[in-house]
């Protein structure tokens, strides 16, 4: 049976189009600088050292299998005037033993460095030079807790709740010293997330009611982009973060800087607006970097470069939009959640709008009030 030329052409064109799109999408992936093939720390290097040789083994096998398939398809294709099927091979013992043992041997060889690397990466670093950090995933942002005293091992788990001396809380951006092993303890406040900084380490699930650990270390200063790598709801794609690696003296200066009280006292108009008028303090803390609440701690927000799960740059224009109508910038299930407790059956994940869907009794945020709040947040440098 012969096929029309147009049909054969479309059979060749389709794979070419798919391959072209794959290359294009690959280029998109590179623009956000999350590149698991460009390790910038020991853990990512170990993964790369395992991945690259196995990739070459896989390429050789792939080429052999695909090549053999093409050769067979051409050599044994149905030709005009010949019977329907070529000669059939069935019950060829030597062949069957061969194609069972050879792949099993290849997998056994690949398993040796794979299992060794898994054990190696699972080992938690110990000693006084290890920095212990707690990372908490929530829909849809990351909180980081750093020890109050730089490089002094913590005797016990970080103290949660109101405290003047507890761990230093920040969100979206984790600063670490270069060349130091950072033991990151991972917890989720709600659903399963996954902590992934491709240039520094592999993915690690972030579970509710369970603590997982991942070790990250940056060999050089730099900003490494991370993301939640487990689908976790509406704004999963906006659950990003950054790891900023700095020389030790710069990192200590940063930590000392953000450990203190806000640059401008939290009193007067800003306190009135954020507590009584708009009740921002139901979820956020403005004046104490050691206090945990439901949403990101906003003390020293102005020192960060991004907010809203690392999706938006910290600047006046973005923050003005955000404090007035956050759900227009990131998808959130927070309609009618201004008044606590929320109405029955209403899901309140994320920040509510202060200008739309305002519940009865709640004030619509004016541009003037938004400006007062944003100016206060930005002064925190
Ligand atoms: Cu958190 Cu996806």
Confirm or reject: Cβ of 285 under 6 Å from ligand 1.
Answer: no
What single DSSP character describes residue 333? B
Final residue before a domain boundary, out of 207, 231, 260: 260
Same-domain pairing of 65 and 181: yes
Q: Which residue minimizes the CA distance to atom 1 of ligand 1?
A: 193
Question: pLDDT tens digit string along 151-178?
Answer: 443 434 444 444 556 889 999 999 999 9
Same-domain pairing of 216 and 303: no
Residues linked to residue 176 through DSSP beta bridges, in sequence order: 245
Query: Cα-Cα-Cα-Cα dihedral of 334, 337, 340, 343, to 10°?
Result: -100
Final residue before a domain boundary, out of 230, 260, 290: 260
Same-domain pairing of 182 and 318: no
To which H or E segment does residue 184 belong?
strand 182-188
Same-domain pairing of 197 and 234: yes
Q: Whole domain around residue 303: which residue ranges? A: 269-377
Sheet holding 131-138, edge to edge: 168-171, 141-146, 131-138, 182-188, 212-216
Confirm or reject: Cβ of 190 under 6 Å from ligand 1.
Answer: no
CA distances from 16 to 9, 11, 23, 25, 61 (A): 11, 9, 11, 14, 22
Same-domain pairing of 237 and 302: no
Our count of domains for the chain comes to 2
39-43, 230-234, 357-361 — which is least confidently predicted? 357-361
Same-domain pairing of 230 and 308: no
Query: Which atom number of ligand 1 is nearest to the Cα of residue 231?
Result: 2
Same-domain pairing of 178 and 141: yes
Same-domain pairing of 52 and 176: yes
Query: For residue 68, is it within any domain?
Result: yes
Mean residue pLDDT of the chain comes to 87
Query: For residue 364, is it within any domain?
Result: yes
Under 8 Å between Cβ of 121 and 150: no
Q: How far is the CA of 53 from the centre of ligand 1 (A)?
A: 31
Query: Cα-Cα-Cα-Cα dihedral of 310, 315, 320, 326, to 10°?
Result: -10
> Which one of 15-24, 121-130, 359-368 scores highest in mean pLDDT?
121-130
pTM: 0.83
Q: What is the CATH number of the domain that holds 76?
A: 2.60.40.420
Question: pLDDT tens digit string along 56-72?
Answer: 999 999 999 999 999 99
Decide if pLDDT at 101 tops 50: yes
CA distances from 15 to 28, 66, 283 (A): 20, 14, 51
The pLDDT-based confidence of 282 (bands split at 50, 70, 90) is confident
What single DSSP character describes residue 141? E
């Amino acid at each position: 049976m012969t096929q029309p030329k147009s049909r054969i052409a479309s059979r060749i064109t389709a794979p070419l189009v798919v391959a072209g799109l794959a290359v294009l999408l690959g280029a998109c992936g590179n623009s956000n600088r999350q590149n698991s093939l460009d390790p910038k720390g020991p853990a990512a290097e170990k993964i790369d050292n395992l991945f690259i040789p196995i990739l070459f083994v896989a390429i050789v096998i792939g080429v052999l299998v695909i090549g053999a398939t093409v050769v067979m398809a051409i050599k044994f294709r149905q030709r005009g005037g010949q019977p329907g099927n070529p000669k059939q091979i069935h019950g060829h013992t030597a062949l069957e033993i061969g194609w069972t043992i050879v792949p099993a041997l290849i997998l056994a060889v690949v398993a040796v460095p794979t299992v060794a690397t898994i054990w190696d990466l699972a080992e938690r670093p110990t000693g006084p030079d290890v920095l212990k950090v707690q990372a908490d995933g929530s829909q849809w942002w990351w909180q980081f807790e750093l020890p109050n005293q730089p490089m002094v091992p913590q005797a016990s788990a970080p103290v949660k709740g109101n405290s003047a001396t507890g761990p230093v809380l920040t969100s979206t951006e984790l600063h670490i010293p270069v060349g130091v092993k950072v033991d990151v303890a991972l917890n989720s406040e709600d659903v399963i997330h996954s902590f992934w900084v491709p240039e520094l380490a592999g993915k690690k699930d972030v579970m509710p009611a369970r603590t997982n650990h991942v070790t990250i270390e940056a060999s050089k200063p730099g900003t490494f982009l991370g993301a939640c790598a487990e689908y976790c709801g509406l704004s999963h794609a906006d659950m990003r973060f950054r790891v900023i690696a700095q020389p030790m003296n710069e990192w200590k200066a940063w930590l000392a800087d953000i450990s203190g009280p806000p640059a401008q006292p939290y009193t007067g108009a800003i306190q009135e607006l954020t507590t009584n008028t708009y009740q921002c303090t139901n979820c956020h803390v403005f004046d104490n970097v050691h206090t945990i609440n439901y949403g990101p701690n906003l003390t020293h927000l102005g020192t960060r470069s991004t907010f809203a799960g690392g999706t938006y740059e910290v600047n006046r224009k973005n923050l003005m939009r955000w404090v007035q109508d956050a759900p227009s910038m990131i998808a959130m299930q927070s309609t009618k959640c201004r008044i606590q407790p929320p109405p029955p059956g209403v899901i309140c994940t994320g920040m509510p709008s202060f200008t739309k869907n305002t519940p009865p009794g709640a004030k619509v945020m004016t541009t003037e009030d938004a400006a007062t709040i944003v100016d206060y947040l930005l002064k925190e440098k």
